[in-house]
């Protein structure tokens, strides 16, 4: 159990909430409803000047009326009353707050402003720590050991719990990346929108996550780094053990304008940021899909880090094989021609139309056992490659089920064990190769052109496999992972 | 109705098929089953040396036994018997063939080989035209005027019919991009896998599509261009009227190795290809997702071409606003700061925390009518921008339905017309703006972080809107579309 103060902030047993009423259209109500419906079982005290009940819970006029000092107070109220309320909370002994309210420095346009300064002063005086202002709140999936309950102010869908934690200067990035089932592989642990960072900043979170055993992969969306030296120092300590993936919001003129108005940050140019980041081992990206792809791969429970950047491509599809090879080349991966002796080994099994040089294009060879198990293992044992992309046809077997619903099926000779085989296809084809992947420390990525939700893609994922629908994104993600893996090897 | 010979080839009334039997595991059977189950209603004659019936249809021993000269013959047989069968078909008067069989030049490794030459010679002698060898076949969704029937050898899922046509050196690219519902927006018309192009090549298809009124958008996957001069000439004639989007499979050493083995093409380096393509107005990409994104946008029935490259960003999300602005800058789009007078107009409506400079970040302003209709129109009328990306929260209203299933709903004051409003939300918020978009000729792209299949994304699409889940891909696609739109303006 972490002894960091952020652990306490994220695991409150009682919460007071300012700014909810009984209307679903109000921001405060939305966050409040989320807390209640996500299974938080501690005491919740809505505070409201007029209402006696808020969304079914007894409401209090002020913090002094609440029957206990709540572990956490959430403020979703206009900035003009913030100072007074904050003082009242301080005087009652509240130690942790989340200030969702905006209207601080991001509106004045100054890095310091009076309101922020006054609140920070009170916080210092009373030993208070607070997240925000100008944020969306927090989600902690680790509220109970079983993962049935969470402290959730903002995540929309029920997402599986895992060890990926996210800290973000953007409420959207902290809360809106997890709405699509495609992103549930991430298995989220904690996500935090930290706004203007008047009191708690990125560095605090790095300190916390460094030794937090509920966090194995760290994601950051950054608009500004306040304590750069400390940030770099901590990042360097963390990245040899836990990957950090970062997106940066500054850069272009318009981007900097946006950032300034968003969190009041003074975003610099990307080159300066890149230079600062590059020595830390942080994986950097500009693209949210790449951000998610990398996190999704590195969040796998039995993640395998490649030992080099040589990619082996095993395919039944000639065109995509060529496109993957070109893309790998552009992104800095090698696609080495296989040795003559290894090519000869492949030639023993493959039809004359096949290509054995890498990409290994088996064309219409329908021996799926070879394709999914033997050939990957031959590549792994060879020592000639460090990662494998497999793009094949096993998913197509499920198409045949479609024909079974058609009149034509009366005339097809179905093997007696067809249905049974189909049921166990992933155990037959995927499980052995995933084991080999771990044994040889060579990551394997599958591509299935069927949808993410297709039977085959689901089955591969259930076995712990990594699956993409198309071939562009895994190559880009893999290139960055290889670079990070090298950093990790040389810095641990 | 097109008078091009490819129109006849793609609209056969009778088909003879070599290489199917009653096993679902055989390539030939798979293609044959697809034809039968896709509603082809002409005569189908399987030809088999031993079987009397193939998948429920009377089989014939040889082409001479078939009771009519079929409009099209499909061959999925070993290359060693190709020559004899091809001769027999020629002698019976067959005019069109699709040769799926591989084992021609892609195995010998020569650009010319004897088997190919001999078949081409017979074809020339008898006036035969054929697709292939070494291809996957064809799909024509325009077999009947109602779009209920198709001639389909290879597309797996029922896809809506439209005016996007695809020609590909890769069977995968021609058949496997359309399995996921996310790609059904494409509304496919025709797709063809053309393999080694021994007789019919890319140029033939450009000739056909140029005047084909069933084709408005053309996609190409290219490993080699045989008649480069003619190709460029035709492309230049087509692109001012119909967009052509091309992916190229050559480039890197490994890519070229793959291409050589795949279709036997001698792929060159990308720079040469780029130089050749750049003067044609063809939109080029290396990435299949970008390929599909661009096609999906340009295939909209009422596609709107931007008149410049100035992007307006309208957002409730600060972080994504900044990321979009940076990405636009990287991809060559401008994100101009709005004029002082326009900013003043926005300030009248927006909260003080909002940013009016562009991105226009309305923060927590919940006036969705303004956000979805008034603000886009203000941007359109200003003449200061050429395209708009809208990233907003309307989809969230459907989340509220989730709360209605929870005990908490007893305490929420739902507006009486909530359900009704929700039902018509797209008519209220989207339809007017799509009309304005067409009137001002300013394309609008929506981003909804909910899944592609979510209620809101579906509703926006049904109104003719363009929706993406995240913000990276639409920016990249839009940058290329702006460039093409400029070419189109200056070349028509």
Q: Contact, A21 vs A49, CB < 8 A?
A: no
> Across chain B, which distance is largest between two alpha carbons, in Å?
83
Q: So what's the pLDDT on residue A108?
A: 56
* Other Cβ atoms within 10 Å of A6 Cβ, number: 22
Would the CB atoms of B286 and A327 count as touching at under 8 Å? yes
Cα distance between residue B92 and residue B376, in whole Å: 64
Q: Is the pLDDT at A301 greater than 90, yes or no?
A: no
Q: Copy the structure tokens of residue B310.
A: 């100035």
Pairing of strands A129-131, A137-140: unpaired
Which DSSP symbol is given to A315? E
Alpha carbon distances (Å) from B103 to B81, B85, B90, B110, B253: 11, 15, 21, 12, 23
Cα distance between residue A293 and residue A179, in whole Å: 15
Q: CA-nearest residue of chain B to A322?
A: B255
Instruction: Confirm or reject contact between A326 and chain B (CB < 8 A).
Output: yes
Q: Contact, A270 vs A250, CB < 8 A?
A: yes
Cα distance between residue A363 and residue A378, in whole Å: 18
Alpha carbon distances (Å) from B463 to B160, B386, B403, B432: 16, 21, 27, 10
Q: So what's the pLDDT on residue A110?
A: 56
Alpha carbon distances (Å) from A461 to A70, A261, A390, A440, B178: 42, 41, 14, 20, 21
Q: Copy the structure tokens of residue A109.
A: 């346009």
The enclosing H or E element of B7 equals helix B5-10
Phi then psi for residue A84, to 5 deg, are -65, -45
Cα distance between residue B18 and residue B39, in whole Å: 19
Cα distance between residue B295 and residue B219, in whole Å: 8
Q: Copy the structure tokens of residue B114.
A: 């004897």
Q: Copy the structure tokens of residue B89.
A: 């078909």
Please count the residues of chain B: 492
Mean pLDDT, range A290-294, rounded to an integer: 96
Cα distance between residue B24 and residue A312, in whole Å: 31
pTM of the model: 0.95
Which residue bears the tokens 């109000």?
A26
Strand partners, A285: A247
The enclosing H or E element of A259 equals helix A253-263
Instruction: Confirm or reject contact between A422 and chain B (CB < 8 A).
Output: no
Over pLDDT 90: what percentage of chain B? 69
* Rama region for A358: left / alpha / beta (φ>0; ψ in -120 to 50; rest): left
Mean pLDDT of chain B: 91
Q: Is the pLDDT at A279 greater than 80, yes or no?
A: yes
B396 contacts in chain A (CB < 8 Å): 156
B221 contacts in chain A (CB < 8 Å): 319
> Residue B83 CA to chain centroid, in angstroms?
35
pLDDT in tens, B222-238: 988 889 899 999 999 99
Q: Is the pLDDT at A263 greater than 80, yes or no?
A: no
Q: CA-nearest residue of chain B to A394?
A: B25
Q: Contact, A74 vs A100, CB < 8 A?
A: yes
Phi then psi for residue A314, to 5 deg, are -120, 120
Q: Contact, A56 vs A32, CB < 8 A?
A: no
Q: Contact, A349 vs A367, CB < 8 A?
A: yes
Q: Is the pLDDT at B108 greater than 70, yes or no?
A: no
Q: Copy the structure tokens of residue B475.
A: 């920016």
| DSSP letters spanning B434-460 | HHHHHHHT--EEEE-SS-TTSHHHHHH
Cα distance between residue A107 and residue A275, in whole Å: 30
> Can you list the positions of beta strands (E) in A137-251?
137-140, 151-152, 161-168, 188-193, 217-222, 244-248
Pairing of strands A129-131, B43-47: unpaired
Long-range interactions of A453-460: CB distance < 8 A, separation 24+: A453/A181, A454/A395, A454/A398, A454/B179, A455/A395, A455/A398, A456/A394, A456/A395, A456/A397, A456/A398, A456/A425, A456/A426, A457/A395, A459/A425, A459/A426, A459/A430, A460/A426, A460/A430
Among B59-73, B228-242, B255-269, name the one with the lowest average pLDDT. Answer: B255-269
Which DSSP symbol is given to A195? T
pLDDT in tens, A345-364: 999 999 888 889 999 999 87
Cα distance between residue B407 and residue B152, in whole Å: 51
Among A72-76, A115-119, A444-448, B270-274, name the one with the lowest average pLDDT. Answer: B270-274
pLDDT in tens, A30-87: 999 999 988 898 999 999 999 999 999 999 999 999 999 999 999 999 988 999 999 9
Which residue bears the tokens 């929260």?
B393
Q: Copy the structure tokens of residue A114.
A: 């009076």
Q: Is the pLDDT at B267 greater than 70, yes or no?
A: no
Mean pLDDT, range B436-448, rounded to an integer: 97
ipTM computed for the complex: 0.94
Nearest Cα to B165, choosing from B197, B130, B201, B209? B209
* Other Cβ atoms within 10 Å of A301 Cβ, number: 9
Alpha carbon distances (Å) from A429 to A368, A370, A394: 8, 9, 9
Q: Is the pLDDT at B181 greater than 90, yes or no?
A: no
Cα distance between residue B352 and residue B43, in whole Å: 71
Q: Is the pLDDT at B278 greater than 80, yes or no?
A: yes
Q: CA-nearest residue of chain A to B36?
A: A408
B134 contacts in chain A (CB < 8 Å): 353
A250 contacts in chain B (CB < 8 Å): 322, 326
Q: So what's the pLDDT on residue B266?
A: 57
* Other Cβ atoms within 10 Å of B272 Cβ, number: 11
Q: So what's the pLDDT on residue A55?
A: 94
B323 contacts in chain A (CB < 8 Å): 247, 249, 255, 286, 288
pLDDT in tens, B314-326: 999 889 999 999 9
* Other Cβ atoms within 10 Å of A377 Cβ, number: 18
3-state helix, strand, coil in chain B (%, to 5): 45, 15, 40
10 Å CB burial of residue A25 (0-12, 13-18, 19+) is middle
| DSSP letters spanning A316-356 | S-HHHHHHHHHHHHHTT-B-PPPPHHHHHHHHHHS-TT-B-
Cα distance between residue B234 and residue B212, in whole Å: 14
Instruction: Confirm or reject contact between A259 and chain B (CB < 8 A).
Output: yes
Over pLDDT 90: what percentage of chain A? 69
Instruction: Confirm or reject contact between A317 and chain B (CB < 8 A).
Output: yes
| DSSP letters spanning B305-354 | --SSSBEEEEES-HHHHHHHHHHHHHTT-B-PPPPHHHHHHHHHHS-TT-
Would the CB atoms of B171 and A317 count as touching at under 8 Å? yes
Cα distance between residue A149 and residue A141, in whole Å: 7
Q: CA-nearest residue of chain B to A263?
A: B318
B-proximal residues of A, 297-316, CB under 8 Å: 313
* Other Cβ atoms within 10 Å of A409 Cβ, number: 18
pLDDT in tens, A447-488: 999 888 889 999 999 999 999 999 999 999 999 999 999 999
10 Å CB burial of residue A360 (0-12, 13-18, 19+) is buried
On the question of a cis peptide bond just before residue B228, with omega within 30 degrees of 0, the verdict is no
B171 contacts in chain A (CB < 8 Å): 317-319
Q: Contact, A379 vs A312, CB < 8 A?
A: yes
Q: Mind listing the domains of chain B with CATH numbers?
A: 5-298 (3.40.50.261), 311-491 (3.40.50.261)
Q: So what's the pLDDT on residue A300?
A: 92
Please count the residues of chain A: 492
A263 contacts in chain B (CB < 8 Å): 318
Q: So what's the pLDDT on residue B137?
A: 94
Mean pLDDT of chain A: 91
| Predicted confidence band of residue B485 (pLDDT cuts 50, 70, 90) | very high
Q: Residue A201: CA atoms inside 13 Å, Cβ hemisphere, count?
A: 17
| Predicted confidence band of residue B112 (pLDDT cuts 50, 70, 90) | low
Q: So what's the pLDDT on residue B38?
A: 86
On the question of a cis peptide bond just before residue A162, with omega within 30 degrees of 0, the verdict is no
B358: Cβ–Cβ under 8 A, 6 or more apart, which residues?
A254, A257, B312, B313, B325, B335, B336, B337, B338, B385
Instruction: Confirm or reject contact between A160 and chain B (CB < 8 A).
Output: no
Point out the residue among A22, A255, A366 whose CB comes nearest to the CB of B322: A255
């Amino acid at each position: 159990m972490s002894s960091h103060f952020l652990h306490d902030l994220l695991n409150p047993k009682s919460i007071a909430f300012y700014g909810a009423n009984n209307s679903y259209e109000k921001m405060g109500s939305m966050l409040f409803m989320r807390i209640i419906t996500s299974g938080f079982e501690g005491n919740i005290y809505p505070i409201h000047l007029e209402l006696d009940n808020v969304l079914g819970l007894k409401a209090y006029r002020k913090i002094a009326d609440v029957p206990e000092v709540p572990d956490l107070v959430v403020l979703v109220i206009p900035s003009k009353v913030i100072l007074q309320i904050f003082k009242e909370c301080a005087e009652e002994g509240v130690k942790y707050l989340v200030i969702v309210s905006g209207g601080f420095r991001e509106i004045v346009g100054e890095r310091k402003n009076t309101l922020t300064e006054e609140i920070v002063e009170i916080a210092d005086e009373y030993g208070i720590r607070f997240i925000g202002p100008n944020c969306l709140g927090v989600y902690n999936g680790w509220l109970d050991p079983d993962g049935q309950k969470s402290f959730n102010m903002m995540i929309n869908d029920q997402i599986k719990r895992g060890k990926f934690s996210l800290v973000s200067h953007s409420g959207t990035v902290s809360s809106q990346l997890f709405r699509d089932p495609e992103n549930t592989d991430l298995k989220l642990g904690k996500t935090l929108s930290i706004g203007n960072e008047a009191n708690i900043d990125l560095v605090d979170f790095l300190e916390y996550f460094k030794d937090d055993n509920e966090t194995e992969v760290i994601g950051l969306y950054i608009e500004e780094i306040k304590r750069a030296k400390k940030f770099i120092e901590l990042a360097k300590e963390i990245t040899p053990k836990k990957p950090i993936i970062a997106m940066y919001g500054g850069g272009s003129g318009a981007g900097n304008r946006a950032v300034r108005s968003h969190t009041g940050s003074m975003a610099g140019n990307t080159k300066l940021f890149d230079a600062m980041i590059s020595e830390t081992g942080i994986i950097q990206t500009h693209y949210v899909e790449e951000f998610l792809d990398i996190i999704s791969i590195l969040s796998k429970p039995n993640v395998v880090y490649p030992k080099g950047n040589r990619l082996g491509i095993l395919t039944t599809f000639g065109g995509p094989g060529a496109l993957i090879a070109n893309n790998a080349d552009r992104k800095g991966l090698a696609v080495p021609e296989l040795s003559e002796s290894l090519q000869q080994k492949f030639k023993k099994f493959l039809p004359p139309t096949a290509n054995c040089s890498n990409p290994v294009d088996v064309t219409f060879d329908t021996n799926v056992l070879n394709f999914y198990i033997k050939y990957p293992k031959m590549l792994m044992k060879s020592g000639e490659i460090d990662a494998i992309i497999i793009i094949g046809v096993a998913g197509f077997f499920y198409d045949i089920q479609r024909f079974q619903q058609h009149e034509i099926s009366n005339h097809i000779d179905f093997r007696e064990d067809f249905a049974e085989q189909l049921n166990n296809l992933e155990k037959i084809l995927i499980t052995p190769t995933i084991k080999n992947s771990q044994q040889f420390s060579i990551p394997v990525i599958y591509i299935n052109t069927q949808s993410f939700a297709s039977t085959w893609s689901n089955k591969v994922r259930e076995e712990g496999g990594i699956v993409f629908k198309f071939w562009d994104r895994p190559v880009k993600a893999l290139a960055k992972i290889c670079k990070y893996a090298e950093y990790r090897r040389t810095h641990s």
